[in-house]
Structure 1
Amino acid sequence: MITMDTIIREGNPILRARAAQLTFPLKDDERQLAHDLMEFLENSQDEEIAKKYRLRAGVGLAAPQVAVSKRMTAVLVPGEEPDKPIFKHVLINPTILSESVQLAALAEGEGCLSVDRDVPGYVPRHARIKLRWFDLDGEEHVARLQNYPAIVVQHEIDHLNGILFFDHINKDNPFTAPEGTLLLE
Structure 2
Amino acid sequence: MITMDDIIRDGHPTLRKMAEEVVLPPSEEDKQILNSLLEYVINSQNSEIAEKYGLRPGIGLAAPQINVSKRMIAVHVNGDRDELISYALYNPKIISHSVEKAYLKSGEGCLSVDESIPGYVPRYARVTVKGFNADGKEVKIRLKGLPAICFQHEIDHLNGIMFYDHINKDNPFKPIEDAVEIDR
**Pairing of 1:45-64 with structure 2 (within 5 A):** 45-64=45-64
* Aligned counterparts of 1:75 and 1:135: Cα–Cα separation in 2: 12
Partner deviation per Cα, 1:77-98 (whole Å, 9 max, x = no partner): 13699xx852101011011111
Root-mean-square deviation (CA), in Å? 1.5
Q: Provide the TM-score with structure 1 as the length reference.
A: 0.95
Q: Which residue of 1 aligns with 2:116?
A: 118
Q: Which residue of 1 aligns with 2:181?
A: 183
Change (3 A) 1:79 1:125: closer
Partner deviation per Cα, 1:104-136 (whole Å, 9 max, x = no partner): 000000000000000000000000011111112
Which amino acid is 1:12 matched to?
H
Q: Which residue of 2 aligns with 1:70?
A: 70
Which runs of no fewer than 5 residues in structure 1 stay unpaired?
none
Which amino acid is 2:70 matched to?
K
Structure 1 window deviating more from structure 2 (19-28 vs 173-182): it is 173-182
Contact 2:63-2:71 within 8 A present in 1 as well: yes
* Aligned counterparts of 2:35 and 2:135: Cα–Cα separation in 1: 13
Q: Which residue of 1 aligns with 2:43?
A: 43
Number of aligned residue pairs: give it.
183
Contact 1:3-1:53 within 8 A present in 2 as well: yes
Q: Which residue of 2 aligns with 1:101?
A: 99
Q: Provide the TM-score with structure 2 as the length reference.
A: 0.96
Partner deviation per Cα, 1:34-59 (whole Å, 9 max, x = no partner): 11111111110000011111111000
Deviation at 1:178, TM superposition (A): 2.6
Structure 1 window deviating more from structure 2 (136-145 vs 158-167): it is 136-145
